[in-house]
Amino acid sequence: MNSSSELSLRGGPRCVGAAAPPPRLGPGRGEGAASPKYKRVGGNTLHLERGFTLLEILLALALTALVLVSLNVFVFSMGELWGRNADVRLFDRHVRAVTRFLEAELRTAALPPAAAAGATPITPQEIKPLSGTTDNLLTFELPAGSRLLVWPDHPLPEVVCSLQVRPRDGLVLLWHSRLEQKFADDPPRETVVTPLVTALAYDYYDADFRTWKTEPALRKDTSGRLETPQRLRLKFTYGKLTRESVIALPAPTEGLPNF
């Protein structure tokens, strides 16, 4: 057999530069195969990516649901722990707020012009409240008043304030202005600072023995005059919770001279 017959038996002549025939597919890789990895298109071999199976999708959904349930349990557990001691935190914040308010007001009373040189801007005085019973109360003066005061008309300066604790009302601020026409005759107005204060005590420092002594009421010296304490001691009560705060009375401060 000559060369021409050999070419015809092999399927005809091949042209130079023609593309090679595609590789034969093995068993199960012909048309209709489930998921071929490679495919011949225009003489180029393409890599085909395999998709997710139903089992993999169900497993991913189960893991996602498990993560969401765990996160939900964690959030509710933290909320329960946070809300369990909410009363304690709010009570402590209230104690700190009242303490800071009184410290600021007493500090203002110890500044000029209310506090002159050698004067005692914070001192015990006999005050007659609306109840009509005269009581010895710690008294101080606020030149510009306070944000807690509610005036029936325009606010007035030079407000004289006193602190009193009552069993049902709590800590009460008694106040009126020296510029009022009936300042000496009418009893002072009353504003409840907090109903959670159940006791007010006074700390006196003994310089001879270098000790502190707490008195439930303002004490008098040997001559019968009321003594100004060095510290105030407030007792806060809310249910079974009890807190105590100590406020140091500021010393009067002299201002700069006027030029």
Q: Read off the pLDDT band of 74 (50, 70, 90).
A: confident
Are 134 and 126 contacting, i.e. CB atoms less than 8 angstroms apart? yes
Other C-beta atoms closer than 10 Å to the C-beta of 56 total 10
Q: Model confidence over 96-152: pLDDT tens digits?
A: 999 999 999 999 999 887 666 567 789 999 999 988 889 999 999 999 999 999 998
Are 103 and 247 contacting, i.e. CB atoms less than 8 angstroms apart? yes
The residue extents of the domains of the chain are: 89-248
User: What DSSP line would sit under the chain, residue for residue?
Assistant: --HHHHHHHTTS---TTPPPPPPPP-TT-STT-S--SEEEETTEEEEPPP---HHHHHHHHHHHHHHHHHHHHHHHHHHHHHHHTHHHHHHHHHHHHHHHHHHHHHHHHTSTTTS-TT--SSEEEEE--TT---EEEEEEEETT--TT---SSS--SSEEEEEEEETTTEEEEEEEETTSTTTTTSPPEEEEEETTEEEEEEEEEETTTTEEEEESS--B-TTSPBPPPSEEEEEEEETTEEEEEEEEPPPP---PPP-
**Residue 143: both structure tokens together:** 């030149």
- Residue 84: predicted pLDDT: 74
223-255 as b/e, with b when 16 or more CB fall inside 10 Å?
Answer: eeebeebeebbbebbbeeeebebebebbebeee
**What predicted TM-score, i.e. pTM, was given to this entire model?**
0.68
Q: Read off the pLDDT band of 78 (50, 70, 90).
A: confident
Listed range (15-19, 42-46, 125-129, 219-223) with the worst mean pLDDT: 15-19
Q: Is 211 exposed, middle or buried (0-12, 13-18, 19+ CB in 10 A)?
A: exposed
**Residue 134: both structure tokens together:** 């005269």
Instruction: List own/partner pairs for 72-77 with CB under 8 A and 24 or more apart.
Output: none
